[in-house]
Structure 1
Amino acid sequence: MILACHNIEKSFGERVIVRAGSFHIEEREKAALVGINGAGKSTILKMIMNEESLDGGDIILAKGKTIGYLAQHQNMIPDGTIYDEVRSAKSDIIEMEQRIRSVELELKSLSGNELESRLETYNRLQSEFEARNGYACESEIVGVLKGLGFSEEDFSKKTDTLSGGQKTRVALGKLLLTNPDILLLDEPTNHLDLNSIAWLETYLINYPGAVFIVSHDRYFLNRVVTKVVEIENGEIRMYMGNYKAYSEKKQQLRDARLKEYYNQQREIKHQQAVIEKLKSFNREKSIRRAESREKMLEKITPVEKPVEINTEMHFTLEPSCVSGNDVLTVEHLAKQFDGQVLFSDVSFEIKRGEHVAIIGDNGTGKTTLLKILNQVQRADTGSFTLGAKVRIGYYDQEHHVLHDSKTIFEEISDDYPTLNNTQIRNTLAAFQFTGDEVFKEIRSLSGGEKGRVSLAKLMLSEANFLILDEPTNHLDIASKEILEEALNNYSGTVLYVSHDRYFINSTASRILELVNQTFVNYIGNYDYYLEKKEELTRAYAAGSGSISGSAGQTAGAPSISTAPDTSASAAAVQPGSKLSWQEQKEQQAKERKRKNDLKKTEEEISRIEDRNAQIDHEMTLEEVYSNSVKCQELAEEHAANEKRLEELYEMWETLAE
């Protein structure tokens, strides 16, 4: 056991965070801490790190073990670069290398005992340096930075110019390189793109120490953790398995507890009815029996009814009218910023009822595309057309559609003046805003609270085409599940950007991946995308083109339309494709050789078959069959041809495949 919490207590005023909570983490174990927003997850991590005091109980870290902590807010070295900040995690190894170099210089001028003494020091330093993998230090730093989505051009960026998300990635990289015995990670996947999250999953699964994670990313938790610690209503419970196993076990336990509660209540009511009936007989014997039953009832330990935590959103999405079948048509769209091309010559269609997810690395232009479709930004070239009766509802991850100076109540009442006071309050109550909370100013709200206000406006919009930018950001797992259910029951059309793989898997019927400045189309959910990604990327690398979401596509099949020109010049101009221009040339050369060999094989087969037919005819001629020498020659030639034909048929099959 590396970390143990025994009977920990914490309250803020009358609000209880945890009461008599106990859990432990074993060495090398990967565990998650889950709970709704505000349950106290970050507070527990801070108590473990002594950043928050305990009201009671004990937190014990095994003797000699080190602990590393990734908080949600980061402090960086002033005026340092990304590389400097992350490299500082290896400062002791870097200093050791400098000492080794210094001793090497000293050895040149020493002799005798002094030389022997310094050689001992040198050998000791060298051994320790090698044992700590010092020679791979720089490559390890570069590997972690690239794994977290930083390019080599980013390494020299100053940390004080970075966004909050970029700073979190830098801090995560620095923490991973310190290799503590236990990692405490508070929302480590926030601000990571899909490739970086996948890299982090693999890193943590293979991490030699223990990991304790707070995260709302269910796909990530399913892949990484083998134990779940839950905090709910001030109580802590432990479940073995990943998030899916925890969720199923929790529901089973709750159902069993509820059944036990109702069974006990039914038995109590039955006994009470029997007691009343016995007393109504008004006989000494029946009264004694009633009193006996009352004593038995008093001894029963009541089963508590499972608590329903009423902090969930309650909403549905319903369009006010049905749109035409053609909802969105995008043609030859292109956008660049400061000379950097985000996407070019993008064309696609979205039909009524489709749920389309846009995925891709950070900085590829996903959010920019949504802003163009909402006319927040202009495209450089190209156009898009909305279909008949299409009404857009837009969810902006930066919440620019909200007004900082307004209260929550005003945000709703100003946009929907036909709603009365009761209707507005009922709507906001469904999104967890009650009492005086509705008069909070937008500028004072957390990211999660702003998200709930934006979702409330989205529900009231009655739009039939929802365009959503990272709708699950800042939502806890319960709220995500409610949003998933609302979208899956929504009869309109949805186009959204998300890095939440579980959410994509649950809600998308089609995926557009923004890669190499254009889109690749997958007809299916996220699991299907993973299955087909490599296959489709290979097909994509051989040509350029656009994608279509036409109704004629086969459900469940990948779709990619390529331009008719598949010549070497067409392939060569594909910017940033997975294969280099030289590799494409080599592939095309191999394909040309295969086709040429196939053609030659077919020609030789035809020639030999014709010759054998000719031999068969000649053997029927009197001047031939009467000449034994000639007959023997023709028979041998015919047999040799048959043997060669067998070889050619096998060769043809191989080439044709």
Structure 2
Amino acid sequence: MILACQGICKSFGEKEILKDASFHIEEREKVALIGNNGAGKTTLLRIIMEEFSADSGNVILAKDKRMGYLAQYQDIYGQRTIYEELLTTKQHILDMEERMRSIELEMKHVQGEELEQLMNTYTRLTHEFELENGYAYKSELTGILKGLGFGEEDFEKPIETLSGGQKTRVTLGKLLISRPDILLLDEPTNHLDMESIAWLETYLLNYPGAVFIVSHDRYFLDKVVTKVVEIEAGQVISFQGNYSSYAEKKAQLRDAQYKAYLNQQREIKHQEAVIVKLKSFNREKSIRRAESREKMLDKIQRLDKPVEIQTHMRLSLEPRTVSGNDVLTVEELSKSFPGQTLFTNISFQIKRGERIALIGNNGTGKTTMLKILNSILPADSGSFSLGSKVQIGYYDQEHHVLHSEKTIFQEISDSYPTLTETEIRNMLAAFLFTGDDVFKEISSLSGGERGRVSLAKLMLSEANFLILDEPTNHLDIASKEILEEALNSYSGTVLYVSHDRYFINQTATRILDLTHQAIVNYIGDYDYYLEKKEELTEKYAPAPSDPAETRAPETDNSDSKLSWQQQKEEQARRRKLENELKKTEARIEELEKRDKEIDETLVLPDVCTNVARCTELSREKEAVLKELEELYEKWESLA
């Protein structure tokens, strides 16, 4: 065991955040800490790090073990560059290296015993330097920076010029390089793109220490953790397994608790009815029996009704009108900023009912693309057109659709003046804004609260084409699942940008990957994208081998359109063949099983003596073998 929490209690005023929280983490164990927003996850991490004091209970860290903590928000200052900031974690190696160089110079000018002493010191230092990975620390720093999404051109950027997200990535890099015995990470994937998250997954899986992670990224948790610690209503409970295993066990546990509660309530009511009946007989013997039952009833340990915590928003999306079949057509779209070309000659189409995820690394132009489609930014060239009766509902991750000077109530009432006060309050209550909360100013809200207001406006818009930019940012897992359900049952069309791979897997019917200034189309979910990424990227958007190639290619429009059309048709054909192959394999398996069953039935005593039954089974076997022969040929052709 490397870390244990025993009986941790913490309250803020009258609000009890943690009640007798106890759990432990073993060496090298990878553990997730989950719970709804406001459940106390960050509070618990800060208690472990001694930034907060617990009202009662203990945190026990194994002897001589070091902890490293990544908070959600970082504000590092100074004149150092990104590379120099990470280099500060290797100061002891730099000092050793400097001392070794100094000894090398000294050895040139001494002899005898003094030389021998210096040589012994030098041998000890070089051995220690090697153990500390001194000869490879520069490549280690470079590898971690690149893994976290920094290019070599970023290494010399001053820390003071970085965004909040970049500063968090720098802090995470410093933490990974320092290699503490246990890592405490609060939302480590928030500012990473998909490639960087995949790199971090691999890094943490191979990390020699323990890891304790707060995250809402379910795909990430499925890959990394082997235990889940859940905070719910102040109570802490541990589950072995990854996130999917936890979700299954949690549903079973909640179901069992509710059934046990209902059974006990049924038994209590039955006993109370029997007691009333016995007393109604009004005889000494029956009254004694009633009193005996009452005593037994008083001794029963009453089960509390499982609490359905009202921290989940209620979301229902439905368009007012049905759009035409062609929802969006994009032709030859290009966009550049000074010194940076985002994309060139992009073409694609979106049909009614599709749910399309637009993905790509940070800086490839995904949000810019959405802003162009919403006429917030102009394109450099190309065009796009909306289909018949298309009405856009836009969810902006920066929440520019909100007015910071207004209250939540004013934001809704000004946008939808026909709604009554009761209707507005009911709507906001569905998004967890009740009582005086509705009079909070937008400027005072957290990112998660602004996201909920934006979703409320989106729901009221009754649009038939939703364009969403990172809709799951700041949402807890339960709220993400509600949004997934709402989008999957939505009869309109959806185009969204997201880094949440689990969310994409649950909702996307198609994926557009914005890479190397081009679009690659994947007719399937995120797992299908991973399977085909290397093959299709090489075919439709190969990496430029020369900087000159990053300029907009001089191709005529018909070639570009043809390439996009060919891409769609080829993938549709391929997907159809793959589905046909799966169906063929399933049918072969079914028939082979039936063939075996017929053989086993024919040798049964009561069958082999029954001529009619034998004839029937023989004919069926003949038909099965004939169909199997045809299916084998079909399988060879498809495979």
- Alignment-derived partner of residue 139 in structure 1: 139
Q: Deviations over 1:80-131 (max 9, x none)?
A: 1111111111111122111111111111111122111111111111000001
Whole-angstrom CA distance in 1 between matches of 2:209 and 2:575: 41
- Alignment-derived partner of residue 203 in structure 2: 203
Whole-angstrom CA distance in 1 between matches of 2:486 and 2:354: 15
Q: Deviations over 1:336-390 (max 9, x none)?
A: 0113110000000000000000000000000000000000000000000000000
Whole-angstrom CA distance in 2 between matches of 1:374 and 1:279: 75
1:191, distance to aligned residue in structure 2 (A): 1.1
Whole-angstrom CA distance in 1 between matches of 2:480 and 2:570: 30
- Alignment-derived partner of residue 28 in structure 2: 28
Does 1:354 find its partner at 2:354?
Answer: yes
Whole-angstrom CA distance in 1 between matches of 2:108 and 2:44: 56
- Alignment-derived partner of residue 600 in structure 1: none
Does 1:182 find its partner at 2:199?
Answer: no
1:562-581 mapped onto 2 (5 Å cutoff): none
- The answer on whether the counterparts of 2:319 and 2:492 sit within 8 Å (CA) in structure 1 is yes
- Alignment-derived partner of residue 450 in structure 2: 450
- Alignment-derived partner of residue 266 in structure 2: 266
Query: Of 547, 572, 578, which aligns to 2:564?
Result: 547
1:340-419 mapped onto 2 (5 Å cutoff): 340-419=340-419
Does 1:428 find its partner at 2:428?
Answer: yes
Whole-angstrom CA distance in 1 between matches of 2:311 and 2:110: 74
Whole-angstrom CA distance in 2 between matches of 1:168 and 1:296: 60
- The answer on whether the counterparts of 1:222 and 1:243 sit within 8 Å (CA) in structure 2 is yes
Deviates more, 1:400-409 or 1:528-537: 528-537
Whole-angstrom CA distance in 1 between matches of 2:162 and 2:573: 41
Whole-angstrom CA distance in 2 between matches of 1:554 and 1:125: 59
TM-score by length of 2: 0.86
- The answer on whether the counterparts of 2:515 and 2:541 sit within 8 Å (CA) in structure 1 is no
- Alignment-derived partner of residue 486 in structure 1: 486
Whole-angstrom CA distance in 2 between matches of 1:345 and 1:446: 38
- Alignment-derived partner of residue 532 in structure 2: 532
Paired residues, what number?
Answer: 560
- Alignment-derived partner of residue 580 in structure 2: none
Identical-pair percentage:
70
Q: Deviations over 1:4-23 (max 9, x none)?
A: 11101111111111011111
Q: 1:425 to 1:190 in 2, by over 3 A?
A: same
- The answer on whether the counterparts of 1:4 and 1:23 sit within 8 Å (CA) in structure 2 is yes
The structure with more radius of gyration = 1
- The answer on whether the counterparts of 1:187 and 1:215 sit within 8 Å (CA) in structure 2 is yes
Letter in 2 for 1:201: E
- Structure 1 stretches lacking a partner, 5+ long: 560-656
- Structure 2 stretches lacking a partner, 5+ long: 544-558, 577-638
1:295, distance to aligned residue in structure 2 (A): 1.2
Whole-angstrom CA distance in 2 between matches of 1:418 and 1:28: 58
Whole-angstrom CA distance in 1 between matches of 2:308 and 2:449: 21
Q: Deviations over 1:110-168 (max 9, x none)?
A: 11221111111111110000011110100000000000110000001111111111111
Q: 1:556 to 1:473 in 2, by over 3 A?
A: farther
Letter in 2 for 1:290: A
Whole-angstrom CA distance in 1 between matches of 2:30 and 2:574: 37
Q: 1:267 to 1:197 in 2, by over 3 A?
A: same
Structure 1: which 4+ aligned runs deviate by more than 4 Å?
541-546, 548-559
- The SS at the match of 1:295 is helix
Whole-angstrom CA distance in 2 between matches of 1:549 and 1:235: 56
Q: 1:368 to 1:541 in 2, by over 3 A?
A: closer
- The SS at the match of 1:474 is coil
- Alignment-derived partner of residue 286 in structure 2: 286
Letter in 2 for 1:86: L
- Alignment-derived partner of residue 635 in structure 1: none
1:554, distance to aligned residue in structure 2 (A): 7.1
Letter in 2 for 1:272: E
Whole-angstrom CA distance in 2 between matches of 1:159 and 1:74: 12
- The answer on whether the counterparts of 1:349 and 1:549 sit within 8 Å (CA) in structure 2 is no
1:548, distance to aligned residue in structure 2 (A): 4.7
1:408, distance to aligned residue in structure 2 (A): 0.5
1:250-329 mapped onto 2 (5 Å cutoff): 250-329=250-329
Whole-angstrom CA distance in 2 between matches of 1:451 and 1:466: 15
- The SS at the match of 2:413 is helix
Whole-angstrom CA distance in 2 between matches of 1:551 and 1:321: 28
Deviates more, 1:247-256 or 1:459-468: 247-256
- The answer on whether the counterparts of 1:3 and 1:61 sit within 8 Å (CA) in structure 2 is yes
- Alignment-derived partner of residue 17 in structure 2: 17
- The SS at the match of 2:564 is coil
Q: 1:248 to 1:542 in 2, by over 3 A?
A: closer
TM-score by length of 1: 0.83
- Alignment-derived partner of residue 109 in structure 2: 109
Whole-angstrom CA distance in 2 between matches of 1:332 and 1:346: 5
- The answer on whether the counterparts of 2:516 and 2:542 sit within 8 Å (CA) in structure 1 is no
Q: 1:278 to 1:208 in 2, by over 3 A?
A: same
